[in-house]
Structure formats: C-alpha cells, structure tokens
Amino acid sequence: MENEFVKERRQRVRVKDRFIEQRGNERRQRVRVKDRLIEQRGNERRQRVRVKDRFIEQRGNERRQRVRVKNRFIEQRGNERRQRVRVKDRFIEQRGNERRQRVRVKDRLIDKRGNERRQRVRVKDRFIEQRGNERRQRVRVKDRFIEQRGNERRQRVRVKDRLMEQRGNERRQRVRVKDRLIEQRGNERRQRVRVKDRLIEQRGNERRQRVRVKDRLIEQRGNERRQRVRVKDRFIEQRGNERRQRVRVKDRFIEQRGNERRQRVRVKDRLIEQRGNERRQRVRVKDRLIEQRGNERRQRVRVKDRLIEQRGNERRQRVRVKDRFIEQRGNERRQRVRVKDRLIEQRGNERRQRVRVKDRLIEQRGNERRQRVRVKDSFIEQRGNERRQRVRVKDRFIEQRGNERRQRVRVKDRFIEQRGNERRQRVRVKDRFIEQRGNERRQRVRVKDRLIEQRGNERRQRVRVKDRLIEQRGNERRQRVRVKDRLIEQRGNERRQRVRVKDRFIEQRGNERRQRVRVKDRFIEQRGNERRQRVRVKDRFIEQRGNERRQRVRVKDRFIEQRGNERRQRVRVKDRFIEQRGNERRQRVRVKDRLIEQRGNERRQRVRVKDRLIEQRGNERRQRVRVKDRFIEQRGNERRQRVRVKDRLIEQRGNERRQRVRVKDRLIEQRGNERRQRVRVKDRFIEQRGNERRQRVRVKDRFIEQRGNERRQRVRVKDRLIEQRGNERRQRVRVKDRLIEQRGNERRQRVRVKDRLIEQRGNERRQRVRVKDRLIEQRGNERRQRVRVKDRLIEQRGNERRQRVRVKDRLIEQRGNERRQRVRVKDRLIEQRGNERRQRVRVKDRFIGTKR
C-alpha cells in the first residue's frame, strides 16, 4: 500500500495586456489583439471575432457563426443550421425537419407540433380543452361542481354539516359533531377532540395529547413525553431523559446541553467567546479593528481617505480622488469616472461608456454598440445589425426578431400558435384530447378503467385490477400490490417489499435488507452490516454509530455534551449566563440600566441616559439624540444630522450635504455638486444626471430609447421582427415548416420530417430518431444509440460501448475494455477499476481509505 500527497500550486499574473494563470503544469493565457479575444489553454486555442454583422467563434477546428438576414435569424454550427421566421399570424420555427406553428382562429387557440394538435374553447358555462383524444370539461350545476376528464368524473357537494367529495370510487367526508371534527377517507378515520385543558388527536392507532399544568407545557406522543418549565432565571426543557438549561451569571451567558457548555464574556474592550477549546477575540485599538481566530488575524484601518484591509498577505485599498473612485487589489486596478454626460469605467485594458442622446440610450463596449428606442406602439431595440420589434394587432400578438415572426391565435375550440413554419394546435374531440406539433401527434383516452396515452408509436396504459395497480410502458411493466401487512412493488425483475412485524419495520430491496427496532429504551437501526443505537440512561442520552460514541448529560444547572475529546458546558449563575467551549468562555450580564457582554477581552455596554442611547465597544463610542426636528448620530468624530425644512429633506454627513426637493412635476436631488432631475413631458420620460440625459419614446410601431448618443429601435414588419442596436441587426422568419433565424451572416434552421427532428446550423446537421426500443442520435458522422436489454442498459457512441448491470450486491459498469465494480462487504466498501482496487473501512473513530 502506497500513499502519495500532492500539493497543487496556482499562480495568476498580469503581464501587460496578457492575463496568465498557472495551475500545476496547466497554463492559461488570455490576450486581446485589436478586435480579437484569444484564449490559450495548453494546446487548445479559442478566438472570438465580430466581422460586420457576423459573430464568429473558433474552437480548434469547430467554427460557429450567427447571422440575421432580413426577417430570418440563422445560426450555423458546422453542418447544423437553424432558422426562425414569422409569417403573418403564424410563428414558424425550423430545426432540421422539425416544424412548429401556433395560430389563433376566432375563439380557438390551436398549437401544432408535427402531427400533434391542441385546442382550447369556452362554450357558455363549460370550459373545454382538447388534447388529442383527451377531452376535459368543467361545469357548475347548482350546489355541485363537476369536472370531467375522459371517463374520470369528480364531484363536490355540501349537505348540511357534511362536505362530500367523490373521485371515481373514492369518497371523502368531513363532519363536525359537537366538539369533535371527524374526517373519513376510505377506511382511514381521523378525530380531534378538546376535553377541558387537553387537546387530543386520534389517527388510526396513533394518539397525541397536549396539556398545560401550571407553568409546565406537556406534550404526549405515544411513549414520548416533552415538558418545558421556567424556574427563576433558568429555562429548562425536558425531552425524555434529555435536559437543557440556559443561565446568565453576571457578565457571562452560559448555555448547558448535556456535557456541552458555552460561555460569552466581555473583558474591557475585548469580546471573548469560548466553545470547547476554540477561542475567539475581537479588539478595537484606536482606528484599527483586529479580529483573532486561532492563528488567523485580520485588520481594517482607515487612513484619511483610504480604507485598507489586511488579510494575511493580501492587501486591499479603496480611494476616492476628486471625481474618480479607484480600487486596488494586488496588481488589478479599477477606476470609474463621470465626464459630463458619460460614465466611463476602466478595468485594465477594457473600457466601457454609457451616453444618453435625446431619446436614445447608447452603450459602448469596445466595438459593440447598443441602442433602445420606442416609436409609437412599437418597441425597437438595436444591437449592431440586429433589430427587434413587438406589436399587438387586434386578437393577434406579433413579435418580430429579424426574419422570425411569432403569432398566437384562438380559433373556436382550437388554440393555434405559429412560429415561422412551425404550427401547433390543441383540440378536444369527445373523450380524446389531441395535440398536434408538426407531424407529432399525441392522444389520451380513458376506456373504462384504463387510461391510454399514445405518442407516435409509444403507448402507455394504466389499469387497476382489484388491489393491483398495473402500468404498462412498451415492454416495461410495473405492479403494486398490498397483501395483508406487506406492500409489494414489482418493476421488471426488481422486487421491493415493506413489512411491519410487531415492533420491527423491515424493507427489502433485492438483497438489501433494512430493519428498525425499538427494544425497551433503545432504538436500533440495521442496514446491512451497519448498526446504529440510541439509548437514554437516566439523565444521559447516548448515541452509538459503529465506534463513534456521543453523550449528552445534564448535571444540576449544567448542560454537558461530549463528542470524543470535545466537551461543551453551559451554566447560568445568578444574573450571568456563562458558556464554555474548551478554553473559550462567554458571559452576559445586566447591571441596572446597562447590558454588558464579555467575549474574551472585548467588552460591550449599552446605556440609555434620558434621550440619548450610548453604546460603548472598546474605545469606540456611539450616541444617538433627537433634538426637536433634528436627528443627530455621533460615531467618534463623525457626526450625522437629518432635518426637514418645509418641502426639503436635508442630510448632513461631515462636509457632505444632500437635499431632495419636489418642484411641480420635477423631482430634484442635490448631492454636493451633483444634481439630478426627473421629468415626464407628454409621451417622453426624461431623466437628467449632471450632463447625462435619458429619454424613452414610442413612435407608431417603433420603440426608441436614447441614452446620450446610444439609440435602440425595435420594429415588426409583417412576419419579421427587426431589432436595431447601432450597426447590429437581428431578424427571425418562419417559412412553412422551417424556422429561420438570421443574426448578421449567421443562419439557423429547424425542420421535422416524420419521426426525425433535423436541425441545421451552417454545415452542422443533427438528427434524432426512435426506432422501437432504440433512441438514435446523429451529429455529423457521430452516431449514438441507447438500448435496454432485460437488466442491462447499453449505450453505443461510435465504437465505444457502455453497459451497466447489477448482479446481486455488485454494480458492474463496462466501458470498452475498462470494467468497474462496487461491492459492500461488512464494514468495507470495495471499488474495482481495472487493476486498481480501493477500499474504505471505518475502524473505531477513524475512516481509512486504501488504494492498491
């Protein structure tokens, strides 16, 4: 047996315009060369470039493009091509051979996916929904509410003081008889009764009671009994043999749970908290706040206008220089500057700007430019050559993205949705609910006691035969049966049972067996070779897991908790609450009108003197006072005031002064030299910040937004949705059963041909087909299949073949020539990978792992 310990080393360096990261032998670089972003990981190289209206990404030999052509949005990935188009009131999406459409014809909404069709209609007081052959109705007749799903019928009726609900053969009732509330579900009966000061609830053989006796609250569940009592300055809770106490002793706050003891103490300007051997301290020395946890030390210092934070060797600074905000982390430097109506942010070599020009909002990131504009009832957004618009015409909702056009229509009892060439419909014909998506058709029918669902060639059935529930999916069959006190579930060759034998609860899954038993005052749980016990011995609560042992004890006013060598105590001594964890000790004390908390050397006090609230933390002192209409807060040398003068709210922090005033339809806010205004003029909303001005306008079918020089528009032209941001333009169009999406030169299409779904992105082509019990997926030359043969799951990818089989207590997985097994033998878990063998064993309180 050989053990190796390897330390992984990571470094990050910025060299001029390169960012280099080293992890062990792996090296990563990122460089921006003009309009290209290049990333290098070992031998793998990635590039991203924007050429006019095309966005091109290169990963090794894989190339992706996105283009918008008029009202079509096309995306190309290798041989795969996708398109999205909106044609009049239809929205068509094409992925290979898959085609979807949605149309609303009068009061019907039709959604068509291949052969699947859905419709929804409201006729007088009935709401009818049709999916394939499945039909649903909801009707209210006098005091009955009836819902019909195929052959399934539900009713709810109130007769005097009874509420009855009928679902098929199942009947439920709820009745109030005097002081009893009785609920009946089949053979199950529940009751709740209040007898004097007791509340009794009965569920089958289980009985619960709650009683208040003087200052005790007692709750009884079966043999378990709980009590809660307050004795003077102690709060005691009893659960079986477990006892908890909380005590305050002078300036210490002590909490006792069994052998666990916690204390908190404030000594002068130090706050010390003790939990077992763990000790924490916090100290304020002049303008420094120092926190000590074990060997870790943190400091925070404010030097004039700089805030410096030190964590080990890491140092951070934040500085405000005039109108610039600068943050320094190691070699990384960030700046934010406002120049007139522009907000500029600099991170290394990356520069961002935002400007509002009249009614346009323009945002510039490198060479990318975005605009947003509202023109009348159209909202237009422009990103490069990509343009988007949204319009509602009568009962149709039309959205145009490039050449892609979407519509939704309801025609009588059909709900139709059109995306380019893709059409979806939903219809209910008698007891069938039919949904049509392109060539895909789904039906659901209820025949007597069977529910049948048809998807293409796949057929599902569910039947209840006496006390059995049988579900059939293709060749897979499931059953559930209750035989006396056993519940048996059968899935193929797998069989599960659950049995209650006297005081034992046994569950069987294949060869795995679990038991739970209560023997007198012990609760034992057995899983294979693993055994757990919980025992209460007098005032001790002991839990045993393998070789690990825990105890909790209450000794008089102490609560002690023992876990291995760790010991905790909590005690309340008079007016002190003390908690002890190892060497860490905490106390809390109230002396007259002062509340003092001691944690190690840190001490806190709070006092109210007349109209002042004073809080002392070490050398830091805070006061809060209200003088007439002023609210004043003092922290060290920092002073804050808030005053309301007529319609102005003035806030003073040191030399910084803020005001807010409302003048007619303007809201004006003044911060130092910065002034903000917000005004609504007719159909324009204008916001002024210093020299920055924003406007939003809707002109006819265009939505225009102006921020500085940035302008965005979105327009819908017939079946095309066009969005314009700067030079970027996007279109989406649906042509028959194809959805075409165009972004710049990138083009995508999706088509559904019979049982195949074909998606085209550039030269990349994908297909998915289901042949009987096989699912076949084709990507270029790569072919995948998945088949289930009895208890084996086989997956084929090209020449690679995988299998998974469970043989008794072994799980075997085969990948090509590699074979893996996992077995549990008593307290060992053994995993085999080829010649490598791993074991994990628990010995007493140690967990040991070995590799061979």
User: 260-292: per-residue pLDDT in tens?
Assistant: 676 766 766 666 676 666 676 766 666 666 776
pLDDT tens string 154-167: 666 666 666 666 66
Q: What is the pLDDT of residue 616?
A: 75
Beta bridge partners of 501: 504
Q: What is the pLDDT of residue 812?
A: 74
**Beta strands at 638-645 and 648-653: parallel, antiparallel or unpaired:** antiparallel
Q: What is the pLDDT of residues 382-405, one digit of tens each?
A: 666 677 666 655 555 566 666 677
- Helix (H), strand (E) counts: the chain: 0, 93
Q: Is the pLDDT of residue 197 over 60?
A: yes
* Residue 244 per-residue DSSP state: E
Q: Would the pLDDT of 3 be above 50? A: no
Separation CA 48–CA 412 (nearest Å): 50
pLDDT band at 781 (very low <50, low <70, confident <90, very high): confident
Q: Are 831 and 841 spatial neighbours (Cβ–Cβ below 8 Å)?
A: no
The whole model's pTM is what?
Answer: 0.21
Of 141-145, 423-427, 742-746, which range is least confident?
A: 141-145
The answer to whether residue 753 scores a pLDDT higher than 70 is no
Which one, of 348, 303, 304, 354, lies nearest residue 328 by Cα?
348
Q: Which residues have a Cβ under 8 Å from the Cβ of 265 and sit 6 or more positions away?
A: 251, 252, 271, 272, 273, 274, 578, 585, 586, 587, 597, 598, 599, 600
pLDDT of 581 over the 50 cut: yes
**pLDDT tens by residue, 236-245:** 666 666 666 6
CA distances from residue 522 to 207, 238, 541, 704 in whole angstroms, order as listed:
21, 18, 11, 74
- Give tens-digit pLDDT for 666-681: 667 777 677 777 666 6
Mean pLDDT of 595-617: 72
**pLDDT value at position 2?**
38
Question: Is a pLDDT exceeding 50 seen at residue 6?
Answer: no
Is it the case that residue 325 has pLDDT exceeding 70?
Answer: no
Per-residue confidence band for 747, with pLDDT thresholds at 50, 70 and 90: confident
Separation CA 633–CA 425 (nearest Å): 66
Tell me, what DSSP letter sits at residue 718? T
The residue that leads in pLDDT, 123 or 635, is 635
CA distance 195 to 94: 70
Distance CA 686, CA 583 (A): 63
Q: Distance between CA atoms of 83 and 402, rounded to whole angstroms?
A: 11
pLDDT digits (tens, 9 = 90+) for 420-472: 677 777 666 666 667 777 677 777 777 666 667 777 677 777 777 766 777 77
pLDDT in tens, 825-842: 666 667 777 677 766 655
pLDDT of residue 617: 74
pLDDT at 690: 67
Mean pLDDT of 786-797: 70
Residue carrying structure tokens 């032209």? 717
DSSP secondary structure string for all residues of 546-578: TTEEEEEEEETTEEEEEETTEEEEEEEETBEEE
Instruction: Name the residue type at position 810.
Output: R
| Structure confidence by residue, pLDDT tens digits, 643-655 | 776 666 677 777 7
Helix (H, G, I), strand (E, B) or coil at 598: strand
What is the dihedral sign for C-alpha 143, 145, 148, 151? negative
What is the C-alpha separation between 23 and 341, in angstroms, rounded? 44
Q: With b meaning 16 or more CB within 10 Å and e meaning fewer, what string describes 49-81?
A: ebeebbbbbeeeeebbbbbbbbbbbbbbbbbbb
C-alpha dist (Å) from residue 214 to 208, 230, 231:
20, 11, 12
Domain residue spans in the chain? 1-42, 43-780
Mean pLDDT for the chain?
68
